[in-house]
A and B are shown apart, each in its own frame.
Chain A
């Protein structure tokens, strides 16, 4: 519970309607999209302006109350669970699109706007905002920025950080800074825009963002290739990139995922298929046609036994069905679905997928893998049950092996979900001890009282394992 004087001070700033500490609210804001993690906040605050945020931060700093900024709570790294209590700050009152600037191709938004609203507004203005995390229908831009969310278009278009030009943020002392701007070039000092993007709310609270928009591609075409094995699919990926083509989408499903999809949706995947690639290209029609023809050739050369090109939007939708229903098909098998995002250089995809298969078998857990073949971002997905502690221990052991292997192959423990509380024990595996020390120094400098989303990124204890990355 909040101390009475803290609560009174917050009521004084926000008004009674915008701070809630009922049991209902504390339960409803105790979790996010991450299985197995939850912690109740002492209260939920709903600021209506940057100034409100500043005042709340000052009060929290004075009394040492943790602040957890939260969008729609769809993240998969326990990034918004209030590990040490405190206040959850939600931005449902700060959800305006403030401006679309057609001359500078930017959109200025408040943190509570949903990704979908941004995409739709850009479209309505004849422009394009590419980042498309799979929760985009409800995820907020504030959450996307804090987690530096990715999506299906990462390979060609990049991720959230590539579209954040400037930020307004409230720092832990209650001051407000503005970084970057409507600028393609800006080297005035440290790049705080990039630093805050992906900082998981541990350095400051984003209260406004200037986003980059791009002209939309006029056409998009879709193709589906089926392979007897993952190795051939991976060879196609390498082949496509080697022929100097960067497709808009390059997604894969492994054999166990296809089996699950077929069992769930009967989309007509043949049993002999060992891997699937979904390939899309967008741009000027002539170029798209040429790329699609070239890519088809690469796929066939690499032993794809079926390559289908969609002739219409309906056909394209049918081809993407298997990929779209992957998560649903997997999620229905067991009570708990753990969706991870170990990422490797794209040249190592086949090797990594094979390793995951072996690891799952060795630990006797069910893991299917799908994901973004083009950028090496895999989604090994484990179907399990959080109530079964013995099985959960095996799941954790399997994922530890997977994280370690990803780092060994030159990859990372998380490509797009973030570290949060969940992966904090593994951060040092990727960064090395000195890497963690350097990051902690930044955290210490900007948030000396550790009130900004404490308990995230940095774990009390790193998992024991021979150091894998970072340290040289």
Chain B
């Protein structure tokens, strides 16, 4: 099948036609704004390009591919669209077709195979990679790499990123998650925990803190063992078949346990879970099951906002929040992180201007489009500085690393820090408990 035919068959033409070209998406689009208003770099322009390909007006050439790659996939255009065009889905469909017809160079093929086809397909392998990272940190190798500035040879912001990723926790702590956990206060709800492949390894501590907050908030937790990566990276990268396989695996894993809700603590993962009904729309066996699964899924902040929470307190600090785009634009769960922050005694929450604009992390975007990602980040850090906040709260691991990179780039590491909302909340609960214990 020619790429053109493939495009016509797999990119939803009905939805391309639903774009009435009103232009309401333009002010929401980071790449449109950061290219000084280049129409081709806007959602409306990209849809026009996709339509031109489907209509046979344009070859799906490098120009089209470059525009599809430049898109962050933040989906801020979707809430802005009066016609409800599912832009993110069109983007993934178009990327999948282009990916299928693409001849990658050998190193890229190997890298894509290793990440999409090996590492992110299995939790066990993710764990193994994690152990290797721990080894790297524990041996003189890390010091050597840093001293020789070896990362400067790698593309993008690898050097900054290497510095800001959290220290690897011992593998034993990753393995020691029990199958079931009991609520430590009055029981309110039964939750199934979606651990996430990166959250459970690189960000293992955040997962520990999330579980602690849930237990302290009256949640019984169950951890389905057979769960895998959500498949978000695969879907965004044009690897749809692999994303589908992961989705089916996860649906089965969570059907095997009893729970009222399915909780995730990363906006990117949560959005992928919410998108399963779309991903599996042509799968008669899984179509309906995906809907049930998606309806039960929500972000941890959304759940906590509904529950009676334990006392929380913190130092008198100004905090601001960089929302996860996928949490707000795809999961459409807004305002709950802010609400959690407002509930912490001592802390004062200040909204940053244009907080709904993507931070430029966008999954692995900052690795493949470093120039645009850093332009967006630098602008973001200006907005952060206006709030005079000493803590930037995030709700997704990519955003967290990006904010840390921003702090590093601005030379603010002594004054400002970035934290995941669950780490911050857990600490606030611990402090309140300690305070209560000493005042008795």
Mark A residues whose CB is within 8 Å of B: 22-25, 27-35, 72-74, 90, 92-93, 112, 114, 116, 135, 137-138, 327-328, 331-332, 335-337, 385-387
Contacts and interface: CB of A to CB of B under 8 A. Distances in A.
B18 A335 contact: yes
A331 B83 contact: yes
Contacts of A23: 58, 63
B24 interface: yes
A387 B55 CA distance: 13
A32 B20 CA distance: 9
Given A93-B36, A327-B82, 6 more contacts: A25-B40, A27-B52, A135-B22, A331-B20, A337-B20, A386-B17
Interface in B2-37: 14, 17-18, 20-24, 26-27, 36-37
B20 A336 contact: yes
Nearest to A327: B82
A138 B36 contact: no
Nearest to A46: B36
Interface size of B as a range: 20 to 34
29 contacts: A23-B63, A24-B40, A24-B49, A24-B63, A25-B40, A27-B58, A28-B48, A28-B49, A32-B23, A33-B20, A33-B21, A33-B23, A35-B21, A72-B23, A73-B21, A74-B26, A92-B36, A92-B38, A93-B36, A135-B23, A137-B24, A138-B24, A328-B83, A331-B20, A331-B82, A331-B84, A332-B83, A337-B82, A337-B83
A32 B40 contact: no
A74 B37 CA distance: 13
Nearest to A114: B27
Instruction: Kindly name the residue among A74, A137, A138 whose own CB sees the greatest number of chain B CB atoms within 10 A.
Output: A138
B369 interface: no
Q: Which 5 A-B pairs have the closest CB atoms?
A: A28-B40, A74-B23, A92-B37, A28-B39, A328-B82
Contact of A29 (B22, B39, B67, B82): B39
Contacts of B26: 72, 74, 138
Instruction: Kindly name the residue among B21, B22, B67 whose own CB sees the greatest number of chain A CB atoms within 10 A.
Output: B22
A33 B83 CA distance: 13
Nearest to B46: A28
Contacts, number: 86
A385 B64 CA distance: 26
Contacts of A30: 48
A387 B17 contact: yes
A304 to B, nearest CB: 29
B20 A73 contact: no
B416 to A, nearest CB: 26
Nearest to B61: A23
A138 B53 CA distance: 27
Nearest to A75: B23
Contacts of A336: 17, 20
A24 B23 contact: no
Contact of A31 (B17, B21, B38, B57): B21
B156 interface: no
A27 B49 contact: yes
Nearest to A139: B23
A332 B27 CA distance: 20
Contacts of A35: 20-21
Nearest to A32: B21
Given A33-B23, A73-B23, A327-B82, A335 B36 contact: no
Nearest to A90: B37
B97 to A, nearest CB: 18
Contacts of A74: 22-24, 26
Contacts of A114: 27
Contacts of B45: 28
Instruction: Kindly name the residue among A24, A92, A112 whose own CB sees the greatest number of chain B CB atoms within 10 A.
Output: A24
B27 A137 contact: yes
B63 A73 contact: no
A135 B24 contact: yes
B27 A138 contact: yes
Interface in B249-285: none
B412 to A, nearest CB: 27
Contacts of B17: 335-336, 385-387
A28 B42 CA distance: 9
A27 B48 contact: yes
Contacts of B67: 24
A335 B40 contact: no
Interface in B43-85: 45, 48-49, 52, 57-58, 63-64, 67, 82-84
Contacts of B83: 328, 331-332, 337
Contact of A138 (B18, B23, B58): B23
A13 to B, nearest CB: 19
Contacts of B63: 22-24
A90 B41 CA distance: 15
Contacts of A327: 82
A114 B63 CA distance: 28
Nearest to B66: A24
Contacts of B24: 74, 135, 137-138
Contacts of A25: 40
Instruction: Kindly name the residue among B24, B58, B84 whose own CB sees the greatest number of chain A CB atoms within 10 A.
Output: B24
Interface string B222-263: 000000000000000000000000000000000000000000
A387 B57 CA distance: 17
B14 to A, nearest CB: 7
B422 to A, nearest CB: 30
A387 B26 CA distance: 25
Contacts of A112: 37
A5 to B, nearest CB: 26
Contacts of A27: 40, 48-49, 52, 57-58
Instruction: Kindly name the residue among B23, B24, B26, B52 whose own CB sees the greatest number of chain A CB atoms within 10 A.
Output: B23
B39 A73 contact: yes
Contacts of B40: 24-25, 27-28
Contacts of B36: 92-93
Nearest to A385: B17
